Structure 1
Amino acid sequence: MALRVEYAHQRKMRTRNTRRYRAAHWPIWIWVFFLAPGPLTFDLFARGGSAGNLIWLAAVLLFTGIAALRGKLPGAEPAPYILRFTEDRPNPLYRRVCYTFAWNALLNFALLNLAGLAVAAVSGKWYLKQIYAHGYTPLCIVILLLGLFGVLPRVRRSTQGEGWERRYFYGTVWSVTAAQTVLLLLWKALPKNHITDIVKLAVYCAVLAGMALLAARGVLPRTRPILPGETVVAD
């Protein structure tokens, strides 16, 4: 299957973001930052949460709400920031911070869940709580450092590579979201035993790989590389 691409001049030009468009992006960033304290999030899914989850949610709602009103969340700006994919423009700090934490929400949970599944499939025992307790913070620090030094896509100091970087980000979003959703359904539906642990691991990896392949081919929405051309909006 050949790689599907888009040309910048073929995309619809948008010079302003509507209120509905801006409001629709706020819940995305609420979720991204709400997930940031990983062990607290693990407790929410494992035990139903605590007062700490509510306090953290209130703080996230407050600060992301202020940022959204000020146009300092990606997608919540009054107008699109990126209009030309080959233009060497500074990547604003708020975009770099937001996308760094988005990468953490995607990669950290996906990798730790993969590790927990692999250990359970091999040993027959679950150590997911311990894996989160000891693994989340170091991995989070690594991802934040990668963001700080501009290594991650969409977190670089310049927006010049946005036409390609966005596809890596959205490809990861599709892959991880699909795999985590399927894993949650399997966790609820299947009995708890060693055989089903192996099944969960196999299905989880298959969904990750399958969605990644579709994204790599540009089949999924927002995963096609946008080749240089005329002025165009970056979603």
Structure 2
Amino acid sequence: MNVRDAYFSEIYKLVKNGEDIVIVSADLGAPSLDDFRKDFPHRFINIGIAEQNLLSVASGIALTGKHVIAWGLNPFPVTRAFDQMRVFMQDMNIPLTVVALNAGSCSAECGYTHMPIEDIAMVRTLSNIRIVNPSDEIISKSFAQDIVKTFKPTFIRFDKYIHDKYYDSNQIKLEKGFVVKSTGSDVAIITNGIFVNKIHKIEDELKSKDIRYKLIDCFCLPVDEKALIDEIRKCKLIITI
């Protein structure tokens, strides 16, 4: 199951168990949303390809006390609706979760307009908003469960081609913001999303060259800075991807 479907499958379970969650979509579906739309039609609202309206409607519903997910195609919920994100999520601190499909160049076949290479940089200017880029199903499910526990404005971006499980649920500490996969001290590799998968694919090659590396999956910003510094303090080289 890819990270997007892992997330929405977990949301379905939460709603089935009685949680008050609403999904507002900018004309975007997903296989994992088919059952949700069928079983909870009053909890799925399609407002069309109108990302500014997406955040406005979702924020209004969130103000009634519901847990709301605004679901759209990246980069548009950020680039087209940045003013709404800035006012509603940053300044008004509305606990809206913006979930966007596409990270980086994973939809390059659609052209430059569909390659969100600046979305993290833009949202980082809004210090009140968590930024999440999951690298596996467990992290996706953890943030789905967190929507009913933590009332924080959150932006989640999904890579299209991640279908892996690297962690156990007890390894993922959302408030920490990162998880360490390897424990070498020569090189610290700090990355997230699809790049975690790519590092795993060259793991044997790194070992064959006797490169002792520490892979730090920085799945959420901001992170626990002290804990991160402690992890990299003794490493000889630090690489960020």
Q: TM-score, normalised by structure 1?
A: 0.28
**Structure with the larger RCO, 1 or 2 (CA within 8 Å, 6+ apart):** 1
Q: Return the index of the structure with the highest Cα Rg.
A: 1
More strand by share: 2
Q: TM-score, normalised by structure 2?
A: 0.28
